Amino acid sequence: MKPFWVYILRCADGSYYTGHTDNLEYRIGQHQCGECDGYTATRRPVELAWVQECATREEALNAEMQIKGWSRKKKEAMMRGDWGEVSRLARSKSAHASTSSARTDLPITTGVQPTIRPEPFGFAQEILVARQACHDRGIQPVCPELVEGHENDTKNE
């Protein structure tokens, strides 16, 4: 069975983007190349901050929706694997009325603690994946000077 992934990207402006996919490397490449219209398109480059494997698309989508309803502090505690802080922040929020439209009552996993893998590929691997995704689609890289063998046309000016 093909795995699905829920992931958090750290954007160039320091904000986070949460999504899910069945092809993690390809999706990160799409975000890096600007193929994903919306939030990350104007906040590149992005880097993978956290990822969790899920058994089904429904599980990944439920986790994505739950995480999107969380505060920045709660997301960062989860990315650190600090489940005590995640729990404390959940109790803290439940003491106040929610103004969020996102559902936060959905289970993130099916009875299993998420596997935390912060930045599993490293920046070099992400660049390779993004470069290949851009090349496959005939897209000019966002930062062509970072691409090996790229000739800078303005170098001789």
Q: What does the pLDDT look like over 52-63, one tens digit per residue?
A: 999 999 999 999
Q: What confidence tier does 94 reach under pLDDT thresholds 50, 70, 90?
A: low
Q: Would you state the pLDDT for residue 49?
A: 95
| Total tally of structural domains belonging to the chain | 1
Strand partners, 52: 6
pTM over 0.85: no
- How would you list the strands of the sheet with 47-54, edge to edge? 16-21, 4-10, 47-54
Sign of CA dihedral 127, 42, 52, 84: positive
Would you say residue 83 lies in a domain?
A: yes
Tell me the pLDDT of the chain averaged across its residues. 74
Strand spans (E) along the chain: 4-10, 16-21, 47-54
Q: Which domain holds residue 12?
A: 4-146
Burial class (CB in 10 A: 0-12, 13-18, 19+), 50: buried
Percentage of residues in the chain with pLDDT exceeding 90? Answer: 54
Please give the structure tokens belonging to residue 36: 């994903």
Strand partners, 31: none
Would you say residue 36 lies in a domain?
A: yes
Please give the structure tokens belonging to residue 94: 């439940």
Q: Would you state the pLDDT for residue 129?
A: 56
Would you say residue 153 lies in a domain?
A: no
Would you say residue 154 lies in a domain?
A: no
Would you say residue 152 lies in a domain?
A: no
Q: Would you state the pLDDT for residue 156?
A: 40
Would you say residue 13 lies in a domain?
A: yes
Sign of CA dihedral 15, 19, 22, 27: negative
Would you say residue 105 lies in a domain?
A: yes
> Is residue 10 scored above 60 in pLDDT?
yes
* C-alpha 81, offset from chain centre: 16
Would you say residue 151 lies in a domain?
A: no
> Is residue 48 scored above 70 in pLDDT?
yes
Question: Does 120 sit behind a cis peptide bond, omega within 30 degrees of 0 on the bond before it?
Answer: no
User: What span, in angstroms and rounded, lies between the C-alpha atoms of 43 and 151?
Assistant: 25
